[in-house]
Structure 1
Amino acid sequence: MSQANAANQMVSRVEGNDLILERVFDAPRELVFQAFSKEEHLKHWWGPRGWILSVCRVDFRPGGTWHYCMKCMDENQGDFYGMESWGIATYHEIDEPNRIVYSDSFSDADGNIVEGMPTSITTMELLDENGQTKLVSRTRYNTPEELKAVMDMGMLQGITETWDRLAEHLAASK
């Protein structure tokens, strides 16, 4: 597969309770890192197509949080139109521009974690590949059943669309 094609393909696999995602982005590692760490970047690409970040509050430091709301603005998405999905991430480890480790949970508008919904820990590694960036994301759930629950919610399609939007944002930001 050529570099151009590889940059457009996300590879995913499940290992036990972990979902591993890999994709090469045609952008320098520093820019990809900023896209995940700065509000002015996140609000342009986070979420599946047809969704916006109506709320995006980032305190990017170990112990800091990212509280956000994705809202469906696409009338063609039927019952999803107008729907809000709140989340909160807590940053555990930041090694710029190499690595970000955070926990991620469903939340309410006040930032309270929704009980009974899956929570995960994600480790993102950003690897320089001749001016491009290979992103390796490993997300661990408490149980295989929690991982299956988020997969059944359409999470893989959502991440694929989100990372497609990230690639478009990076191309426009270079």
Structure 2
Amino acid sequence: MPAPAIAANAPGFTIDRAAHALRFVRDVAASPDAVFTAWTTPESMRLWWDAGGEPLSRCEIDLRIGGEFLFVSPSHAHMAFTGTYRRIEPPHLLEFEAMDAIGRVMLADHDGGTRMTVEIVCRSDEHLDNYIRLGVANGTSQTLDNLVAHLG
């Protein structure tokens, strides 16, 4: 049974139709350096990336502009999530291209921790609607909750 759709008015989630983007905001009880490290090291990433909470069976990160990443969930071994890094500005910005979209992880100091804003920018309204239909918002939301718990 598919996961229920994330409500467009759910706390920390917005759909920006003008920018063709899904936007997620989470406050994390860890420094921007710690959050950036969690996003950029295989040892950490493999522990929280899978929306279902299973450790990744494969996690490869080549952290450089033009470098690639590859994540494989044990429950979806036939479907690797791959992408290419476009901008890397530790510890505040990580930008990558994956699934024909741009992903941005923006980290800012906030109340002794980090405010993490994650954007998935699609190329059109149709692309955005397809992402929503596929449950990308739900999966991303759960993945970010996993990260918050991992660093909590």
What whole-Å deviation, never above 9, does each CA across 1:71-92 have from its counterpart, x for those lacking one? 32xxxxxxxxx66421111001
- Whose RCO is larger (CA < 8 A, sep 6+)? 2
Counting only pairs closer than 5 Å after superposition, residues 14-29 of structure 1 correspond to structure 2 as 14-16=16-18, 17-29=20-32
Determine the structure 2 residue equivalent to 1:142.
Answer: 123
- Counterpart CA distance in 2 for 1:13 and 1:148 is 10
| Match among 65, 71, 74 for residue 74 of structure 2 | 71
Instruction: Write the letter of the residue equivalent to 1:34.
Output: T
Counterparts in 2 of 1:122 and 1:50: CA distance versus 1, 3 Å: closer
How many percent of aligned residue pairs carry the same amino acid? 25
Runs of 4+ in 1 over 6 A off after TM superposition: none
What whole-Å deviation, never above 9, does each CA across 1:18-37 have from its counterpart, x for those lacking one? 11221111111110000100
Question: How big is the alpha-carbon RMSD for the aligned residues of Structure 1 and Structure 2?
Answer: 1.6
Give the structure-1-normalised TM-score.
Answer: 0.75
CA contact (8 A) 2:53 2:146 kept: no
Counterparts in 2 of 1:127 and 1:103: CA distance versus 1, 3 Å: same
| Match among 119, 122, 128 for residue 103 of structure 2 | 122
- Counterpart CA distance in 1 for 2:106 and 2:53 is 28
Give the match's secondary structure for 1:85: coil
- The answer to whether structure 1 residue 102 and structure 2 residue 96 are counterparts is yes
Instruction: Write the letter of the residue equivalent to 2:94.
Output: I
Give the structure-2-normalised TM-score.
Answer: 0.85
Larger radius of gyration: 1
After TM superposition, the structure 1 stretch with the greater mean CA deviation from structure 2, 17-26 or 96-105, is 17-26
CA contact (8 A) 2:13 2:22 kept: no
How far 1:50 moved relative to its partner? Answer: 4.7
- Counterpart CA distance in 2 for 1:159 and 1:26 is 19
CA contact (8 A) 2:17 2:125 kept: no
How far 1:124 moved relative to its partner? Answer: 1.7
Unpaired segments of 5 or more residues in structure 2? 1-10
Counting matched residue pairs gives: 141
- Counterpart CA distance in 2 for 1:30 and 1:85 is 30
Determine the structure 2 residue equivalent to 1:88.
Answer: 82
CA contact (8 A) 1:13 1:21 kept: no
CA contact (8 A) 2:48 2:54 kept: no
| Match among 8, 11, 21 for residue 13 of structure 2 | 11
Give the match's secondary structure for 1:53: coil
Give the match's secondary structure for 1:23: strand
